[in-house]
C-alpha cells in the first residue's frame, strides 16, 4: 500500500486559501450582524462542548493546573464572548460626529467597517486564550480570517485545527498549523491586518513582512514587567498577589507576569520572608512535585532558564528555590537578591519561574530604574502613599499599570490591553478588540442647499476675510466681513 502523501502548505497553498477567503469576504457574507453573532454563539457552544478536551490539551502542552485552564483560558474567553454578544449591535452602529459651521448644513458619522482578510498568529503560553480572544474581535468586526496557532503547544494547536472548522464557518475562518515554513508562507501574502502575540524577535519579522504590503499590525509582545514594593503595606497580601501573578500564571510563562521586584534595602528582608512563607504555603516544601505549578514548555526554554541561573554573576544570588528537574521540565519558584544590572537575567525577559529582587536606597529611585529600560507591557506598585501612586502613574510608561495587585487588568474588558514601544503596538479586549479589527471610516452627508459662493473663484479679498473669520470663529470679524462683502457686491 502506497504511503499517504503529506499535504504541503507553501506559498501557493497560502495564496489559494487567500483567494477563497477574499471571495467570501467580497460576497458580503461576514458583514451582517446575523453572521457575526451566530459565529460568536457557535464559539461559545464550542467552549462548552470541548471544555474537557481543552483542559486535557493544556495539560499535555504545559501541565497547566485545571483551575488555571478553566479560569484564565476558558473562563476569560466565555466572559469575552458574553460581553461581545451583548454589545455587538451597539458597537456596529455608526457613531455621530459633529461637523463645523464652515460646512453647514451637514452631518457626520464614523462607520466601523471590517478590514477584510486578517491573519492572527498566537502564542504557546496561553494557546487557547491567545488564539480565540483575537478571533472574537475579528469575527465581531466582520472579517474573514486565518488563525495560526503556535506549534510549541502542539496539543492545543491540533485541537484548534480540529474543532474550529466543526463549529465555525470554514468558508470565512481557517486554521493553519505548522512551524516556520507555514508561517513564512502566510506572511508572504497581502493581508488587510495582522495580529501577532509573542516575542519581540518574531514581532520584528512580522512587522517587516507586513511593511512590504503596508499592512497594519497589532503586536502583543512583552518585556520586563517590574513590581515596586513600598514599605507600610500589608506585606502578606502583597506577597500573595505577587506570587499569584508570577507563579500562579503558568509558572511565570506569561507576558504580564512580574519579571523583577524593586524595593528598599530596609524592606527587602521583610518582603523576602513573606514571599518564602507564602510560596511554601501554596506549593509545599517540594514545589517540583506540586500539581499546582505548570512545567516549562520544552527543553529549549528549560535550558534558557538554566543559563540565566548558571550565569556566574547570578548563581550566588539565589536566596530561595533553584531546584530543577530537566527530565520533567520543572523549575521551582526561585528568588534572587541583588543581582547585577549587567547580568543576563536583568537584560532579557525572564518568562519563567525566576524572580530577582533589586534594592534601592529610596523607593522613588525605582521609577528611574524602570525608565532606564525598555517600556514594559505592565508595571505594578504596592503602596499606601497617595503621592507615590500619582508619581507612578505620571512617570512610568507601560502598556498597563496596576496599583496594589498584579495582572488583574487583563480581565477588565473596559480597559485596553496592549503594549507601548518595544512591548507592543495596538490593543484589544472588549470593544477595543472590535476596534482593532475595524477601519473607522469618516462619512459626511450634505444636501444641495447652503451652497456658499465664497468657496468658489474668483477669490476676492472680501471672500478671504470672510473665510478667515469663519475659521477663527470670530463673530465680530464675521459681521464685518459679511458687511464688507455685501458692500463690495453693491458697488
Q: Residues with catalytic annotation?
A: 220, 255
| Residue 465, φ and ψ in degrees, nearest 5 | -65, -40
- Angstrom distances, CA of residue 443 to CA of 94, 103, 106, 111: 10, 13, 11, 7
Query: Three-class SS of residue 380?
Result: strand
Distance in angstroms (rounded) separating the CA atoms of residues 251 and 331: 9
Helices of type H across 316-474 = 365-372, 386-395, 431-436, 461-472
Q: For residue 393, what is its C-alpha cell?
A: 502613574
DSSP string of 274-315, one letter each residue: HHHHHHHHHH-S-GGG-TTSPPPSSHHHHHHHHHHHH-TTTG
User: Is the previous residue joined to 339 through a cis bond, with omega within 30 degrees of 0?
Assistant: no
Answer positive or negative: Cα dihedral of 260, 263, 264, 265: negative
Distance in angstroms (rounded) separating the CA atoms of residues 383 and 380: 10
Other C-beta atoms closer than 10 Å to the C-beta of 44 total: 18
Amino acid at each position: 500500500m502506497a504511503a499517504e502523501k503529506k499535504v504541503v502548505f507553501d506559498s501557493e497553498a497560502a495564496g489559494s486559501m487567500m483567494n477563497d477567503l477574499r471571495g467570501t469576504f467580497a460576497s458580503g457574507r461576514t458583514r451582517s450582524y446575523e453572521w457575526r453573532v451566530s459565529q460568536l454563539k457557535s464559539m461559545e457552544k464550542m467552549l462548552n462542548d470541548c471544555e474537557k478536551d481543552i483542559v486535557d490539551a493544556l495539560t499535555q502542552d504545559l501541565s497547566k493546573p485545571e483551575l488555571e485552564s478553566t479560569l484564565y483560558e476558558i473562563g476569560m474567553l466565555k466572559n469575552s464572548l458574553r460581553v461581545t454578544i451583548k454589545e455587538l449591535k451597539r458597537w456596529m452602529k455608526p457613531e455621530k460626529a459633529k461637523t463645523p459651521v464652515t460646512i453647514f448644513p451637514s452631518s457626520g458619522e464614523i462607520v466601523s467597517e471590517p478590514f477584510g482578510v486578517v491573519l492572527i498568529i498566537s502564542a504557546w503560553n496561553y494557546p487557547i486564550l491567545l488564539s480565540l480572544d483575537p478571533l472574537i474581535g475579528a469575527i465581531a468586526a466582520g472579517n474573514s480570517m486565518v488563525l495560526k496557532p503556535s506549534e510549541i503547544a502542539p496539543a492545543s494547536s491540533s485541537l484548534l485545527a480540529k474543532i474550529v472548522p466543526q463549529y465555525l464557518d470554514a468558508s470565512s475562518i481557517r486554521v493553519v498549523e505548522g512551524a516556520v515554513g507555514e508561517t513564512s508562507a502566510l506572511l508572504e501574502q497581502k493581508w488587510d491586518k495582522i495580529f501577532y502575540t509573542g516575542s519581540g524577535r518574531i514581532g520584528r519579522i512580522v512587522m517587516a513582512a507586513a511593511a512590504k504590503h503596508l499592512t497594519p499590525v497589532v503586536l502583543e509582545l512583552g518585556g520586563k514587567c517590574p513590581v515596586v514594593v513600598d514599605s507600610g503595606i500589608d506585606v502578606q497580601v502583597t506577597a500573595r498577589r505577587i506570587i499569584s501573578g508570577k507563579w500562579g500564571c503558568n509558572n511565570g510563562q506569561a507576558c504580564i507576569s512580574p519579571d523583577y521586584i524593586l524595593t528598599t534595602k530596609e524592606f527587602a528582608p521583610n518582603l523576602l520572608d513573606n514571599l518564602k512563607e507564602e510560596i511554601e504555603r501554596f506549593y509545599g516544601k517540594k514545589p517540583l512535585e506540586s500539581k499546582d505549578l505548570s512545567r516549562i514548555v520544552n527543553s529549549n526554554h528549560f535550558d534558557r532558564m538554566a543559563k540565566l541561573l548558571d550565569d556566574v554573576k547570578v548563581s550566588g544570588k539565589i536566596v530561595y528555590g533553584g531546584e530543577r528537574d530537566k527530565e520533567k521540565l520543572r523549575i521551582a519558584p526561585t528568588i534572587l537578591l541583588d543581582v547585577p544590572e549587567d547580568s543576563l537575567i536583568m537584560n532579557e525577559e525572564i518568562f519563567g519561574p525566576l524572580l530577582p529582587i533589586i534594592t534601592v536606597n529610596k523607593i522613588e529611585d525605582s521609577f528611574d530604574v524602570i525608565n532606564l529600560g525598555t517600556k514594559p507591557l505592565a508595571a505594578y506598585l504596592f503602596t499606601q502613599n497617595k503621592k507615590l501612586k500619582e508619581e507612578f502613574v505620571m512617570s512610568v510608561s507601560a502598556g498597563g499599570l496596576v496599583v496594589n495587585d498584579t495582572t488583574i487588568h487583563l480581565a477588565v474588558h473596559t480597559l485596553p490591553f496592549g503594549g507601548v514601544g518595544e512591548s507592543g503596538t495596538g490593543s484589544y479586549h472588549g470593544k477595543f478588540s472590535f476596534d482593532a479589527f475595524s477601519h473607522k471610516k469618516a462619512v459626511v452627508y450634505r444636501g444641495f442647499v447652503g451652497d456658499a459662493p465664497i468657496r468658489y473663484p474668483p477669490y476676492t479679498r472680501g471672500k478671504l476675510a470672510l473665510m478667515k473669520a469663519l475659521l477663527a470663529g470670530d463673530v465680530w470679524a464675521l459681521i464685518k466681513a459679511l458687511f464688507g462683502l455685501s458692500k463690495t457686491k453693491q458697488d
